[in-house]
Amino acid sequence: MDRSVPPILASYGASAVLCYGAIESPLAQPRALIVGHFISAVVAVCITKLLGLLGPERFDELRWLAGSLSTAIAIVVMEITKTTHPPAGATALLAAVDRDVHRLSWYLLPVILLSSSVVLVTALLVNNIQQRFPVFWIEPTAAAITEPSIEAKRSDVEAKPTSQTHASRSSSLTVG
């Protein structure tokens, strides 16, 4: 059976930006990446199947509604499950409005899981050369949320003597 899987799902371009460029963001962590895309795909397939019951002609007229509902419901479910991954909203939209992706139907789910896994594995390899990724796997710890990055600590240390000097000058002027 020919599935005609599209070679690229556009939403993974934005996932790449998060997972390779903003690795400390909670939105780029493995749980958000994999579960966010998966939830969005499930929601979109369910919505398109439901509206598809109206018939192919009517569904084509309401494709915009399927895209809107899929994206909105996917966002709500991601927020409830704390797996928000903004590019996953595009996954829901694509599954409803892109004819090639829509044709995949339930087969979209393993495609999404495979694509997310490939992004995650390459992010683990690339990002751990000089940095630490992921910041957390399942849930953020207090240290992961509040601990600034090494670069932020360096810039903070370099800036402190200047700010302390200004603070001590202003306090000596007001006291004396």
Q: What would the pLDDT profile of 55-80 be if each residue is shown by its tens digit?
A: 999 999 999 999 999 999 999 999 99
Q: Any idea which of 13-17, 109-113, 152-156 has the lowest mean pLDDT?
A: 152-156
Instruction: Concatenate the DSSP letters of all residues of 24-93 into one string.
Output: TSGGGSHHHHHHHHHHHHHHHHHHHHHHHTT-HHHHHHTHHHHHHHHHHHHHHHHHHHT---HHHHHHHH
User: Is the torsion defined by CA of 92, 96, 98, 104 positive or negative?
Assistant: positive
The residue-averaged pLDDT of 132-152 equals 64
The residue-averaged pLDDT of 13-41 equals 92
Tell me the Ramachandran region of residue 36: left when phi exceeds 0, alpha when psi lies from -120 to 50, beta otherwise: alpha
Q: pTM for this one? A: 0.73
The pLDDT score that the predictor gives to residue 79 is: 96
The pLDDT score that the predictor gives to residue 147 is: 54
